[in-house]
Homo-oligomer: A and B are copies of this chain.
Amino acid sequence: MTTAHPAQRPGRPGYDLDSLLAVTVTVFNDKGYEGTSMEALSQRLGITKSSIYHHVSGKTELLERALARALDALFAVTTERQATSGRHIDRLEYLVRRTAEILVAELPYVTLLLRVRGNTPVERRALARRREFDLFVRDLVVGAAEEGDLRPGIDPALTGRLVFGMLNSLIEWHRPRTGGSAEDLAEAVLRLTFEGMRRR
């Protein structure tokens, strides 16, 4: 289902932390974090377990670093000028576009993040940060409604979840090589949720 980066094929000696993480995340996504042992990881990487411990303290740290990569990218957008000033509907549009870019650019990391279930403290912290992001989205929808840019009767929290649920679904079906660009995907999501598909 996933392919290792050509430069990080198992058996190739020598990883830095980034390339180690890149392979680890594909294994976590294939087998699940709980279903992945350090033993299985060392086999897939083609290096010994002690070589892994040279980089990180263990599986927990690998998960934490992988999740941080996705979360940091997503949260960086929430402080950008176009997400924090101007009409709220435009901020929302901007956030959808930038999130699509991050989903496509960081697909394996965001996939891991979106599949976190909360079985460990690291996972629960990631879920808490996801909820923070959801609140940022909800507030944009609230602002857009207050500025009169939305149809009446829109539920802000539900709408935020649905729009980002649609966007996030691309982790399930987007194929990096053959799928559309992040711009095309963002455009499709925005047209569908902002204008609707029905001819009037």
Residues of A within 8 A of B (CB): 1, 29-35, 89, 114-115, 117-119, 148-151, 154-155, 158-159, 161-166, 168-170, 172-173, 180, 188-189, 191-199
Contacts and interface: CB of A to CB of B under 8 A. Distances in A.
A16 B104 CA distance: 45
A115 B118 contact: no
Interface centre among A31, A169, A170 (most CB of B within 10 A): A169
How many copies of the shown chain assemble into the complex?
Answer: 2
B34 A32 contact: yes
B118 A198 contact: no
A193 B192 contact: yes
Given A32-B32, A151-B199, A161-B169, 11 more contacts: A31-B34, A32-B117, A34-B34, A150-B198, A151-B197, A159-B197, A162-B189, A163-B166, A163-B192, A165-B166, A165-B173
